[in-house]
Amino acid sequence: MTKPLLAFFLFVGLTFISCKESSSNPNQAIQKTSDENSKAHLIDSLVVYQTENLIIKRLSNHVYEHISCLNTNDFGKVDCNGMLVVNENKGVLFDTPIDNKSSLELINFVTNELKCEITAIIPTHFHQDCVGGIEEFEEHNIPTYATKQTIELLKKKGQNFSKPINEFENSLSLNIGNKKVYAEYFGEGHTKDNIIGYFPEDNAIFGGCLIKRVGASKGNLEDANTNKWSETVRKIKLKYPEAKIVIPGHGKWGGTELFDYTIELFEVK
């Protein structure tokens, strides 16, 4: 075989290989993009309301997550979660949005879109991301329920509201139509007063800032008891080992893996 002919076949072979590789790579890229878009669509499909102030997601038949954004000095803009439980045209809210403006949007959505009446709000501890919108709810004659510890800490902080807060000790149950929703205290963690919300019908827990999203840092420890944190969350997991929906105070909701992550994060070594 002559050298020119050998060079020709070598050129054709390299071109064929190059074309084969270039034709397969775009398909892989398209598949990857398609998968990513599908995941994004799945997440977006939960959103039922969104403005620059407030996002609301429907997580189950009765449970909604509300998300508002708090500007902080130490952590920048932080997404803050709360849980709304609705049944038979009634609703109970765990943690308000971060301010009155966002809270009004939530009230209007529940009233006009869900055709429900909010009958109670329950802050899960005394920080701003739990109580920031209480005044707006009071303007609409919606009562607030909080533990004795939370009320005392709010007073100590100099936080006053126009109407008195309904006090309870370590647990509270409220009717939502023919169902019940529960607030429970398990121990110290993010704060000494942090509680959780639980709705048995959908096996949903609002952990508030006591529960961390998977991958989160320890966050604000100013009022925390890090020595007790894991122990407290372990008690929650022991009581609710098969929780289907677990909503943290900040970041993405999930299941009981959030309990495991939080326990490990604060485990005393």
Which segments of 73-188 are extended strands (E)? 76-87, 90-94, 117-122, 145-147, 166-168, 171-176, 179-185
Q: Is 212 a catalytic residue?
A: yes
pLDDT of res. 7: 46
Active-site pick, 87, 130, 209, 237: 209
Answer whether 0.85 is exceeded by the pTM. no
Active-site pick, 66, 130, 220, 237: 220
pLDDT of res. 24: 39
Q: Which amino acid type is present at position 93?
A: L
pLDDT of res. 74: 73
Q: Is 125 a catalytic residue?
A: yes
Active-site pick, 69, 80, 116, 129: 129
Q: Is 129 a catalytic residue?
A: yes
Inter-residue contact 196 to 183 (CB < 8 Å):
yes
Block means of pLDDT (10 residues each) for the chain, 269 residues, are: 46 42 39 40 78 97 96 81 98 98 98 98 98 98 98 95 96 98 99 99 98 97 98 98 98 98 95
Q: Is 220 a catalytic residue?
A: yes
Active-site pick, 90, 190, 192, 237: 190
CA 31-44-64 angle, to 5 degrees, is 145
pLDDT of res. 39: 43
Q: Is 250 a catalytic residue?
A: yes
Q: Which are the contacts of 70, defined by CB distance < 8 A and separation ≥ 6?
A: 77, 78, 80, 98, 128, 129, 132
What does the chain come to in residues? 269
| Residue keyed to tokens 């708090």 | 70
pLDDT of res. 42: 47
Active-site pick, 57, 62, 125, 192: 125
Q: Is 160 a catalytic residue?
A: no
pLDDT of res. 17: 40
CA distance 78 to 86: 26
Active-site pick, 57, 90, 179, 250: 250
Q: Order of strands, edge to edge, in the sheet holding 179-185? A: 171-176, 179-185, 195-199, 204-208, 245-248
DSSP string of 176-235? Answer: ETTEEEEEEE---SSSTT-EEEEEGGGTEEEEETTSPPTT------TT--HHHHHHHHHH
pLDDT of res. 71: 82
Active-site pick, 57, 90, 212, 237: 212
Q: Is 209 a catalytic residue?
A: yes
| Residue keyed to tokens 């009765």 | 62
